[in-house]
Amino acid sequence: MILDDDERRNEPPQEQQSEPAVPSAGSSATALPDRASAFYNALQTEHFVLESARSITVSESSSRASLYLMTLSSSLIAFGFLAQTKYATAFLGVVLPVIVLLGVFTYERLVETSLEDVVALASIQRIRRYYGSLLPGANEYFPVPTRDYAPNEMIDIGADRSGKRGWRGVFFTMSSAIAVVNSIVAGSGIAFACVLLGADESHSVTIAGGAALLFTVAHGLYQERRYRRVQQVELDGGGVRR
């Protein structure tokens, strides 16, 4: 039946259907129907991101160490061609400071990447402990290193295999290797400067050896102090170990 204009005007208005309220981004977590599953999915995503971050730190450390060692080896090869020429002294005077500075920058970044790896590992251990609590007996598949023969052992840098903190582990990292090499290069530069100033070669070598040893110890103490600071903040606070 067709209604005329008067009948349409007298017809009561139809009620509009109201759309459901959409929660804001900040309060969306409270509106989730299954918050436990959402938390588990977020935890798995976080685990994946942390593993990716650890891979990136290892890749960056390898690239930076390779760059430094390649620069050093190329400079030594170039010096071999110029050793018997009058340009050898000027070449060493220019190249040695550049290599030492590059080594210092490389060492600092290697320490930073290793610390980032330690922090990511601490977070991963917390997630693994959650996995181990999902079912009775699940902790056998997600063990936390508490002794020197723990399976699937993942120990942070700066700790020995028993889990105790010690200074020896710090000196076996990639950054420490670069620090030792760069300290020797710096000592060689000091010996070269002493010879130019008229010092005896034997005395110059002794001074260079002492300076290289001093630089190595200074790098080690600096790295050990940085590790202990991160361990106190992240590892103790996050409870990487039981």
> pLDDT tens digits, residue range 187-203?
999 998 888 888 888 88
> pLDDT tens digits, residue range 128-165?
888 888 888 888 888 776 654 443 444 445 454 444 55
Distance, in Å, from the CA atom of 190 to the CA atom of 167, rounded to the nearest integer, reads: 28
Alpha helices in 1-87 (DSSP H): 5-10, 35-82
pLDDT (0 to 100) of residue 97: 93
If you search the block for the tokens 């050793």, which residue do you land on? 83
Joined tokens for residue 69: 């060692």
> pLDDT tens digits, residue range 74-103?
999 999 998 888 888 889 889 999 999 999
CA torsion angle 152 236 174 146 (round to 10):
-30
In the chain, % helix, strand, coil (3-state, to 5) comes to 70, 0, 30
Average pLDDT, the chain: 80
pLDDT (0 to 100) of residue 166: 54
pLDDT (0 to 100) of residue 142: 81
> pLDDT tens digits, residue range 33-53?
777 888 888 899 999 999 999
pLDDT (0 to 100) of residue 171: 72
108-141 burial, b at 16+ Cβ within 10 Å, e below that, comes to bbbbebbbbbbbbbbbbbbebbebbeeeeeeeee
